[in-house]
């Protein structure tokens, strides 16, 4: 753990402990509490206070001392409740990881070689692979179109949100869908907070479309786990998970095709 991570952990642990009362499931706090933590702990104030919050919302689990205070079978997440205002909330699902040993579906890699050569970031490359291989279509069974990448918008009560890519889709009945997609790779994992925000973004910006948030975890550059989420009992749940592997067309054998013909839809 880096010095920065250690500092962030000490700060957020102090904030939590200063607010927590036995049995609570929701704990409100503000960004100014980070300054109080620094003063109490004798820590130099971080240059970017927002990065302390961002780190535990989107990049890494909360410190173990905090997680131990969660109800059995649950974990803490940090929700935004307004400008510089937050809430620790106990939830059944905080971080989403691919299931080990999941069946893989081979997909002939249709990513243009020139795109792979000149993608300016790993994130751009991941989104391009999803788009050119139509993996969102394959996974959802809906004809999908990329509407916008890196959508930033403000939602009342939550502030500014960002979604990696937004697809819209049409099914055979004519129903319209919106698929906000969060794509992760390397050591990054998907935070349920981002999925909650995608639901909120859809409800605010595209309320007439059926919202089906998607998570894409790149286990490797060509091995992708896709998740679809629903909201149930005010919490995010995983509705489905499938794994895909992008391969050269010659790697797909007759035996693979036969398996896919008789396997689950």
- The domain locations on the chain are 3-91, 104-262
The confidence score (pLDDT) of residue 264 equals 58
DSSP 265: -
The confidence score (pLDDT) of residue 5 equals 84
Asked if residues 218 and 74 have their Cβ atoms less than 8 Å apart, the reply is no
Question: Which residue from 103, 135, 143, 94 is spatially nearest to 226, judged by alpha carbons?
Answer: 135
Contacts with 165 (C-beta within 8 Å, 6 or more apart), sequence order: 127, 130, 131, 146, 148, 149, 150, 151, 180, 181, 183
The confidence score (pLDDT) of residue 262 equals 77
**pLDDT digits (tens), the chain, 265 positions:** 577 889 999 999 999 999 999 989 999 999 999 999 999 999 999 989 999 999 999 989 999 999 999 999 999 999 988 888 999 999 999 999 999 999 999 999 999 999 988 887 888 999 999 999 999 999 999 999 999 999 999 888 887 889 999 999 999 999 999 999 999 998 888 999 999 999 999 999 999 999 999 999 999 999 999 999 999 988 999 999 999 999 999 999 999 898 888 765 5
The confidence score (pLDDT) of residue 160 equals 82
- The whole-model pTM stands at 0.90
The confidence score (pLDDT) of residue 4 equals 82
Burial 178-214 (b: 16+ CB within 10 A, else e): bbbbbbbbeebbbbbbbbbbbbbbbeebbeebebbbb
């Amino acid at each position: 753990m880096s010095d920065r991570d250690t500092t962030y952990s000490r700060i957020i642990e102090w904030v939590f402990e200063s607010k927590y009362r036995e049995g609570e499931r929701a704990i409100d706090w503000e960004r100014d509490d980070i300054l109080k933590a620094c003063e109490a702990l004798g820590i130099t104030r971080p240059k970017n206070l927002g990065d302390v919050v961002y780190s535990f919302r989107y990049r890494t689990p909360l410190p173990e001392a905090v997680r131990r205070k969660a109800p059995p079978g649950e974990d803490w997440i940090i929700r935004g409740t307004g400008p510089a205002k937050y809430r620790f909330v106990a939830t059944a699902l905080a971080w989403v990881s691919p299931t080990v040993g999941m069946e893989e579906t081979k997909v002939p890699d249709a990513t243009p070689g020139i795109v792979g050569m000149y993608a300016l970031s790993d994130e751009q490359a991941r989104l391009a692979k999803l788009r050119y291989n139509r993996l969102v279509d394959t996974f959802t069974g809906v004809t999908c179109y990329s509407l916008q990448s890196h959508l930033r918008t403000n939602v009342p009560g939550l502030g500014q949100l960002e979604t990696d890519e937004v697809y819209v889709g049409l099914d055979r009945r004519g129903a319209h869908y919106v698929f906000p997609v969060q794509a992760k790779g390397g050591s990054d994992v998907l935070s349920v907070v981002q999925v909650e925000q995608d639901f909120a973004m859809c409800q605010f910006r595209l309320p007439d479309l059926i919202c089906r948030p998607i998570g894409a975890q790149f286990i490797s550059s060509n091995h992708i786990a896709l998740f679809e989420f629903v909201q149930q009992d005010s919490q995010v749940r995983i509705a489905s998970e499938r794994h895909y592997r992008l391969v050269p067309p010659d790697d797909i054998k007759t035996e693979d095709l036969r398996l896919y013909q008789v396997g689950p839809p």
